[in-house]
Amino acid sequence: MSELHTPHAGDDRAKDDDVVALLMRQHGDIRNLFDEVEATSGEERRDAFRRLVRLLAVHETAEEEVVHPFARQGFSGGEQVVKDRLAEEKAAKETLAALDEMDTDDPQFMPQLLRLRADVQAHARAEERYEFTHIRRSTDVTDLAAMAKAIKAAEAMAPTRPHPGVESAAKNMALGPVAALMDRTKDTVRKAMGKG
């Protein structure tokens, strides 16, 4: 792999005035983190996995708060599309919670991670094809930008850069468990959407 670093969605210099473009980049960021977890070991893997868990938690929570409610009402058939996506997200979160309690050196870790990866990837593409397409079609630039702003606010909740082990453990402690992170993400997003 090359030394080039791809910044996370929101950290590049894109205008970020389109929620769909932003989320598609975030799907790539998640995929990149799966690559990183797979390619590393020991402390490095632990650190990469922590970042993956946080990004996934924040990303899915933000989608549930921002995009799915909009899609549910935004286009015909939206209700069913969102229902399917939520079922996928629920399944992914359960696998994620199980993995979160496991040590990354556990022999069971990698097979479970690969299953999660396949599920997350299928879920992301389904969103892009069955939900995002409709959102772009049925949404004006103001709403696309407003939703992008809310997603960006949520993104600030997830640490995205690798950091040395000790500091990472301390930071993780400070951020608390995944469930708490999801709650804080919800609050942040709601504030950004003006529903605080």
Partner 1 sequence: MTFNPLEQRGIPLDRQLRSWRELNVDPIDPDHCDPYTRCRIITMNGIEVEAILFSHQLARNTVDPEVKRQLARVRYIEAQQQKVVNWLLPGVSSVLETTIAYEQVAVDLTAWVARMEPDPYLRQAYEFGVLEDFDHLYRYANLYEMIEHRKAEAIVDDLTEVMPGRPTRFHHRDPVDNVRDPYAKDRTDPLSKLHALTIMSAEQQTMNFYMNTGPTYMEPIARQLYQEIGLIEEEHVTHYESLVDPGETWWEQLVNHEYNECYLYYSFMEQESDPKVKAIWELHLNMELEHLHAACDLMRRHDGRDPASVLAPELPNVLTFEPNKGYLRELLDTQMDLTTLGAGYVREAHERFEKMQEQIHGGEAPPSDRVMAEHDEMFGREYRVQTEGEHPDPAQREK
What's 7's DSSP letter? P
CB of 74 to partner 1, least distance (A): 16
CA angle 64, 70, 73 (to 5 degrees): 125
Query: Cβ of 151: how many Cβ atoms within 10 Å?
Result: 25
Closer by beta carbon to partner 1, 34 or else 49: 34
Task: Tell me how far, at minimum, the Cβ of 35 lies from partner 1, in Å.
Answer: 6
- R_g of the chain computed on alpha carbons: 16
- The smaller minimum CB distance to partner 1, of residues 35 and 44, is found at 35
**Residue 14 Cβ vs partner 1, minimum distance, rounded to whole Å:** 5
Q: Is the dihedral of CA 14, 18, 21, 23 positive or negative?
A: positive
- List Cα–Cα distances, 183 to 105, 137, 188, in angstroms: 29, 31, 9
Residues that bind partner 1 (CB under 8 A): 1-2, 4, 6-9, 12-14, 21, 24-29, 31-32, 34-35, 117-118, 121-122, 125, 128, 136
Write down the least CB distance from residue 130 to partner 1, Å: 12
* Nearest CB to partner 1, comparing residues 111 and 196: 111
